Amino acid sequence: MNSITHVVVPGTFDPVTNGHLDVIKRASRLFENVTVAVAASKRKHGTGTTFSLEERVQMLKDALVDEGLVDVSVEPMEGLLVDFCNARGAGGVVKGLRAMTDFEYELQQADLNAHMAPELESVFVMSSPEYGYISSYHFWYQRTSLKSLKLCIIAVIKYICPAFSLYSANILKKVFYASCS
């Protein structure tokens, strides 16, 4: 049986998080050759990614240099992960798992990959406790929802609640901004 020396760590990395970097570091300790595949994900969240593919690739390259992981390569990926892995001779895919919901989703993906490329192994690493709650999706969601929520609160304070005194409105603004910082 041949051992796996080259793996791919795929993701959208929109943006790259410390949790992502943790998975990449751990993959580089386990395997000789690690390639990070930054997925185009043109339809992520129904609107596309926050950052362009080129920006995400560059952010990841910069972050890996900062972490001292200069032997890890970063490449943009369009199309199927199994095709990307086969084209580079990678024998495995490394994914990080934070919770049971991650496992259910990743198991479905691993099963699909196994049907398309039976020789491609899926390797799962549990998140480090300090990064288990981090998700780039939550960054995206909170960034968009807090901005909308902030605008709604300002509108309520300014226009819907004219009976509020200036004092009350300033207190609400301070409480709201403190909770968003």
Is the distance from CB of 121 to CB of 4 less than 8 angstroms? yes
Helix (H) or strand (E) holding 57: helix 53-66
**Burial class of 162 by CB neighbour count within 10 A (0 to 12, 13 to 18, 19+):** exposed
Helix (H) or strand (E) holding 8: strand 6-11
Helix (H) or strand (E) holding 141: helix 136-155
Is the distance from CB of 9 to CB of 16 less than 8 angstroms? no
| Active site members | 20, 44, 98, 136
Which two structure tokens, joined as six digits, stand for 3?
């051992």
Quick count: other Cβ atoms within 10 Å of Cβ 23? Answer: 23
